[in-house]
Amino acid sequence: MAASKLIPPHGSDTLTICLLEGAERTAELKKAEGLPKVVMTTRETGDLIFMGIGGFTPLTSFMGQDDWKGVCEKMTLANGTFWPIPVTLSHDKKLDAGTEICLVSGETSEIMGTMKVTESYQIDKEFECKHVYTTNDPEHPGVKMVMEQKAWNIAGPVKVLSESYFPKEFKDVYQRPAESRKIFEEKGWKTIAALQLRNPMHRSHEYLAKIATEVSDGLYIHQLVGKLKPGDIPAEVRVKCIDTLVELYFDKNRVVCGGYPLDMRYAGPREGLLHAVFRQNFGCSHMIIGRDHAGVGNYYGPFDAQDIFFELPEGALQCKMLPIDWTFWCYKCGGMASMKTCPHAKEDRLFLSGTALRKSLSEGGDVPAEFSRPEVLAILREYYASIKEEDKVEVKMHGHATGDAKK
């Protein structure tokens, strides 16, 4: 068998899989039913699934105190492996080492896995927020998640028993790393650029994607199907938009679409690094990082998520950044352009962002034709027309969405 052309998983020669199947799963599930139950948030559930399918290779457990502290302060696990964001499980009380527990989804009440506790520890939540999110502002959705964690973190190796509703509800896009790697191998690709999406693709996303396609063997459009903050567009609507755009405007031989089950943390630069880590596990050699990657509001500079890649020690991360400048529609150029290619003034440009698109659509405003493809806008208008007035969430604009923020 020929050696793989693909980049190896992060920190390992092979994917680390914690998902049980067949008779082994059946036996562990029966055992789990008799164990003390720990109820997980959607973020913790998504993290557990990712450990199950190898998305978080080389992790096989929720982090202990040494790993947590090292990741917060230095972006390394206790053994020196690069890792940018804590992957932890919280509980309302201390559990003795050796205790076996059943892990249950708080969203669906399904048994998701088991864990053998190795330690329980308490953390300084403000310390974590300061290092990971660079802010302790409770309005930041990632900070809010950390501050709402229970009093204790519990650590230990996991056995994963379910991928929840993701394989069924998102059957056309949900993928395990082994599956995406198999597709890339079959296509003979070596260089694959990953495009992270939590919004429907507007023209700026499309432009980034096509730049990446020009310089890579293939493009992996990898969309989040986990939970977002209130006011963001639901996963099923985003998937429909992206599928429509790919069908009509991309060479399908050069593009693979996938979906993954994590919640957004909105950690800006640190989350950009995490996105590159797990895209490496999915087989991608490059991670597209554009304006305000994984950001929210004005908490991060528009290109902080690019800058942090240049600060990494040599060899920390094999998946390389593909940095792309601020992009927009230029009326004088007559098409999409960037700060590096367009010589015209700001008044000649239409700055494109998911925030601006959501705000216009949620308020019933006009959306310029240049903002997104007409087929995508039609899907989004139908969705926003279905929202009851009392369920609408105000979308706040910020400088990164208007072109007013400084690089």
Q: Name the residues annotated as catalytic.
A: 198-199
Q: What is the dihedral of CA 136, 305, 294, 74, to 10 degrees?
A: -50
Q: Measured between alpha carbons, how far is 323 from 269 in angstroms, rounded to an integer?
A: 13
Radius of gyration of the chain, Cα coordinates, nearest whole angstrom? 21
Q: Measured between alpha carbons, how far is 108 from 40 in angstroms, rounded to an integer?
A: 10
Output phi, psi for 381, to 5 deg: -65, -40
β-bridge partners, 101: 115
Helix (H/G/I), strand (E/B), else coil: 104 = strand
Of 47, 22, 61, nearest to 158 (Cα)? 61
Contacts of 49 (CB under 8 A, 6+ apart): 55, 112, 160, 162, 163, 164, 166, 261
Q: Measured between alpha carbons, how far is 116 from 243 in angstroms, rounded to an integer?
A: 41
Residues 60/16, Cβ–Cβ less than 8 Å: yes
Residues 292/400, Cβ–Cβ less than 8 Å: yes
Of 173, 150, 181, nearest to 224 (Cα)? 173
Within 203-345, residue ranges assigned H as helices are: 203-215, 235-249, 269-281, 304-310
Other beta carbons within 10 Å of 260: 27
Other beta carbons within 10 Å of 326: 22
Q: Residue 65: is it exposed, middle or buried by C-beta count within 10 angstroms (0-12/13-18/19+)? A: middle
Within 323-366, residue ranges assigned H as helices are: 354-362
Of 79, 77, 81, 75, nearest to 62 (Cα)? 77
Of 200, 187, 254, 264, nearest to 230 (Cα)? 264
Residues 16/55, Cβ–Cβ less than 8 Å: no
